[in-house]
Chains A and B, each alone.
Chain A
Amino acid sequence: MLIRQNAPIPSSEITDEGVYLRRREFIRLTGGAAVAAAAGPFLAGCSPGGVSAEPAGGGPYSAAQAPLSGYKPRAVATDEKLNTFDDITSYNNFYEFGTGKSDPKRYAGTLKTSPWTVKVDGHCNKPAEYQVEDLIKPVALEERIYRMRCVEAWSMVIPWIGVPLAEVIKRAEPTSKATFVEFTTLMRPSEMPGQRSSGLDWPYTEGLRMDEALQPLTILSVGMYGKTLVNQQGAPIRLVVPWKYGFKNIKSIVRIRFVDRQPKTAWQTANPDEYGFYSNVNPEVDHPRWSQATERRIPGFFKNHKTLMFNGYGDQVASLYAGMDLRKYY
């Protein structure tokens, strides 16, 4: 009988104290992931469960990732056991690189993430185009250890590094018309093979209500385990909304737009009966094809981990939905 065992992760590996104590500086997000990731072996998912986040002898991505320093460790955290770097970066849904879970790791190396421009526009006083570094620079980076619950009933615990989305939004000074925020992923079929075939209506789009976007738990993530994101995670910048199903966490964002009506989202467009705009984690509202009452906590074998309302973040976010019928607004 064999069950994967992860080595316990010393906190020093999550956040290097020495690095943290050095003066704050935001290391440029580097691209060039293409070179290293191209070497990513197909069966990389089989690698033993140790953490390979340390620069020396890490995974095939270590060369492409830049270290991040000066972030506030465990700004939000959980006692739950973290998933390993390998787990998190070997099992992804990123249909731009294929529908298989190992496809993103295999194919995302072709994506050029530098230079990277993010356009912030729509109903706001200060629309602008930013280099991704400049978008993040004015805000202090924080580590946010969140549960990530996929709509497919599996989950992980991930030590994101990022900034509160609210800070980025405030800088743009949205007007009173801005009631929703729409996000768009890069559209570049030459580097994203999945976009060359049908499936979803490319580019991927997502949306949040303005109060959801401003909720302090909502972040734009640029890194994990002390380094910048790898491509298959949605480098160089992606959304993380921990009380919603994983597909709300749009990857490789190029546009943030303030709008006055509920935006269309990729999955809702593809299959409105199965995926709603809100997509809050809710054990009581089943997916038409499976129950959402339990989940499989990666790398466990059994789907016997109880799913919590709002993924366990109800204290912070339940009030956003007071009076709403969450069966109707799933």
Chain B
Amino acid sequence: MRKAIKSLVFLLALVPAAWLVYLLLTNGLGVNPAETLQLETGIWALRFLLGGLAITPLRRLTGWNRLVQYRRMIGLFAFFYAFLHFLSYLVLDQYFAFGQMMTDVVKRPFITMGFIAFVLMIPLALTSTKGWIRRLGRRWQTVHRLVYLVAITAAIHYVWKVKVPFGAPLYYAAAVALLLGFRIVRYYSSSKSMPTQPVKA
């Protein structure tokens, strides 16, 4: 049963990618298909990132601890969509001009932010295996707090990308702020009210 649910979540997480492939093959991506692919893969990366970050607050609020079983998969799907997003930039925009890409990364703040977010996700994806969790022990969690930085830089990337910061990019930034704010509030309230109790992981 548990496995069946996990498989279902896995398949659901693939739906956006499958849908984009379907639209690509049926001329359904609109007048500028490259732009649509780029935008959609980026937004889905951000959505999965938010999904992963929502697990802990949801557990605390609902007591439904089993949610944590899906966190790694959701995080890896965030990386999957981020990788496709990066690929769309490298191939469709830059046409494999790595030098030009690095110039962009250094020169253009919105690309710098997106690039930081993507690069920081790589160690998180690599150390997501059971072996690495064991090997890193306590440090694993410290390393994986990098995801906060990933979420912040990803949200800034989206806000800075648009001509007028309005609508969707701001909503995503607000969601990131909310999810990180939850942790900050919890951290301070628990360390103040219960100074003797260690902060729970």
A288-B108, A289-B108, A291-B104 known; A301 and B31 CB under 8 Å?
Answer: no
- Which residues of chain A are near B119, meaning CB under 8 Å? none
- Which residues of chain B are near A298, meaning CB under 8 Å? 31-32
How far is it, in angstroms, between the C-alpha of A274 and the C-alpha of B160 when the chains are bound? 12
Q: Smallest Cβ distance from A91 to chain B, in angstroms?
A: 4
Question: B31 and A302: CB pair below 8 A?
Answer: no
A322 within 8 A of B: no
A4-B33, A296-B32, A303-B92 known; A48 and B27 CB under 8 Å?
Answer: yes
Question: A43 and B28: CB pair below 8 A?
Answer: yes
How far is it, in angstroms, between the C-alpha of A303 and the C-alpha of B90 when the chains are bound? 11
How far is it, in angstroms, between the C-alpha of A270 and the C-alpha of B164 when the chains are bound? 8
Question: A198 and B166: CB pair below 8 A?
Answer: yes
Q: Smallest Cβ distance from A118 to chain B, in angstroms?
A: 27
A32 within 8 A of B: no
Q: Can you list, as one digit per residue, whether each of A226-260 has a CB less than 8 Å from chain B (1) or not (0)?
A: 00000000000000000000000000000000000
Interface of A is mostly: loop
B110 within 8 A of A: yes
- Which residues of chain A are near B166, meaning CB under 8 Å? 99, 197-199
Question: B30 and A101: CB pair below 8 A?
Answer: yes
Number of contacts between A and B (CB, 8 Å)?
81
Within 8 A of A (CB), among B23-65: 23-35
How far is it, in angstroms, between the C-alpha of A302 and the C-alpha of B35 when the chains are bound? 10
A288-B108, A289-B110, A296-B34 known; A302 and B26 CB under 8 Å?
Answer: no
B137 within 8 A of A: no
B95 within 8 A of A: yes
- Which residues of chain B are near A302, meaning CB under 8 Å? 34, 91-92, 95
A289-B160, A290-B104 known; A2 and B24 CB under 8 Å?
Answer: yes
A2-B24, A198-B166, A288-B108 known; A91 and B31 CB under 8 Å?
Answer: yes
Q: Smallest Cβ distance from B41 to chain A, in angstroms?
A: 14
Chain B interface size band reads 20 to 34
A2-B24, A200-B164, A289-B110 known; A91 and B93 CB under 8 Å?
Answer: no
Question: B26 and A46: CB pair below 8 A?
Answer: yes
B139 within 8 A of A: no
Question: A101 and B32: CB pair below 8 A?
Answer: yes
- Which residues of chain B are near A301, meaning CB under 8 Å? 33-34, 92
The number of residues on chain A lying at the interface, defined by a beta carbon within 8 Å of a beta carbon of chain B, is 36
Q: Can you list, as one digit per residue, whether each of B72-103 has a CB less than 8 Å from chain A (1) or not (0)?
A: 00000000000000000001111100001000
How far is it, in angstroms, between the C-alpha of A154 and the C-alpha of B34 when the chains are bound? 11
- Which residues of chain B are near A48, meaning CB under 8 Å? 27
B71 within 8 A of A: no
Q: Can you list, as one digit per residue, whether each of A266-306 has a CB less than 8 Å from chain B (1) or not (0)?
A: 00001100100000000000101111000010111111100
How far is it, in angstroms, between the C-alpha of A270 and the C-alpha of B166 when the chains are bound? 13
Question: B95 and A91: CB pair below 8 A?
Answer: no
- Which residues of chain B are near A286, meaning CB under 8 Å? 107
Q: Can you list, as one digit per residue, whether each of A27-50 has a CB less than 8 Å from chain B (1) or not (0)?
A: 000000000000000010110110
**Besides A99-B164, A291-B100, A291-B104, 14 other CB < 8 A contacts?**
A45-B30, A45-B31, A46-B26, A48-B27, A197-B166, A199-B166, A289-B160, A296-B32, A296-B35, A298-B32, A300-B34, A301-B33, A302-B34, A302-B92
25 contacts between A and B (CB under 8 A): A2-B24, A4-B27, A45-B31, A46-B28, A46-B29, A90-B31, A91-B30, A91-B32, A99-B163, A99-B166, A101-B31, A101-B32, A101-B35, A102-B30, A154-B35, A199-B166, A271-B164, A274-B163, A289-B161, A290-B104, A291-B100, A296-B32, A296-B34, A299-B33, A301-B92
